[in-house]
Structure 1
């Protein structure tokens, strides 16, 4: 059976998300390692992805860690530099699926304001048939509730959903619910999977 809908994660599937790389470039690897050891920036980002206000959450963390105040504010003030570049072949696959009439959804851990900001730089983020953005839903992957929301809202059987994500824990939770899954490790393998599922021809997936 051909999948009825294809679901994309965004970070490291459609847009590279490597905050450490940004900080290595701007403040140096040694200082970056010291900061990440001292301040749980990924937990801060999870709060944004759960619906916390983008600016207030990050600036509050900066004020509570004065030794790293300026560097933490960079997470907000230079955010697009953390979330780049787009993964161009993945974007082409998204558009090829939609051109074939295949419903394409996003399922992403992303803040409300940060997503809106990203969409001004990456217009393809507005091209999904359905958006499942954690900040709006108040729950992040791999909590089973967010997968249940997709199933209920779409009305599509889990076995007819094909989902790609770069994180094994997110993929494992989807698989446990009966979704078809693909652990994303680059657009070439994802293109091959879409062809194998009968969703795209080799030409369309090129």
Structure 2
């Protein structure tokens, strides 16, 4: 049933990591090098902080190379973050991809707002071609700012020209959702595609059959 207390969204905004593509690098490293070695590396090296650097626009290869040289005991494993990127950023979340396409088939504008590096995104979209299907893409590496900095949300609003209360945004991180909500966006904390499908139905954007 449509929620009568909220205006009908004019555009839907997807995060990508853990919404459209699984992003659990610890699990992937467990597969590649074994859990014990992965735990030792992650306890020593802040790899998520490294990732944040190229999410803000620094050069992917350079950042990973610099980190690898800083921690020579894990050099080969750190270099995998670049050299085996496509083994880390997987698999796609198929139901979410279907929801993206169902919205577009209904003529609903669909945007991406994601913390993603310039070069790492290029690698992912070459394989996961649904990443090319958005009406607008807001990639942090190109924008020079990452969620949950309010500036990135402001940049989206300025570019798309849609009132905040007419934007419906899903993300798996509560801090990213909280900043959007403070700006007046409609939000959904992504905990799985089934819940997101239900929210899109409640917003009057898809029928239950289209959201299945």
TM-score, structure 2 as length reference: 0.96
- Tell me the alpha carbon deviations over residues 15-65 of structure 1, each in whole angstroms, 9 at most, x when there is no partner: 000100011122222221111111110000000100011111101110111
Q: Which residue of 1 aligns with 2:146?
A: 140
**2-side partners of 1:171 and 1:81: how far apart?**
28
> For residue 29 of structure 2, what is the aligned residue in structure 1?
23
Residue in 2 that maps onto 1:13: 19
CA distance in 2, matches of 1:128, 1:27: 35
- Tell me which of 102, 109, 112 is aligned to 1:103: 109
1:12 aligns to what SS in structure 2?
coil
User: Which sections of structure 1, spanning at least 5 residues, go unmatched?
Assistant: none
What is the aligned partner in structure 2 of residue 201 from structure 1?
Answer: 207
Question: Following the alignment from structure 2 to structure 1, what is the Cα–Cα distance between the partners of residues 35 and 85?
Answer: 18
Shift >2 Å, 4+ stretches: none
Q: Distance in 2 between matches of 1:29 and 1:181?
A: 35
* Alignment of 1:123 onto 2:136: no
Equivalent residue for 2:66? Answer: 60
Within the candidate set 63, 77, 85, 2:91 is matched to: 85
Calculate the aligned-residue CA RMSD, in Å. Answer: 0.6
Equivalent residue in structure 1 for 2:185, among 179, 182, 191: 179
Match of 2:167 in 1: 161
C-alpha separation in 1, matches of 2:26 and 2:141: 22
Deviation at 1:139, TM superposition (A): 0.2
TM-score where L is the length of structure 1: 0.99
**Could you tell me which residue of structure 2 aligns to residue 42 of structure 1?**
48
Between the aligned partners of 1:195 and 1:152, the Cα distance in structure 2 is 27
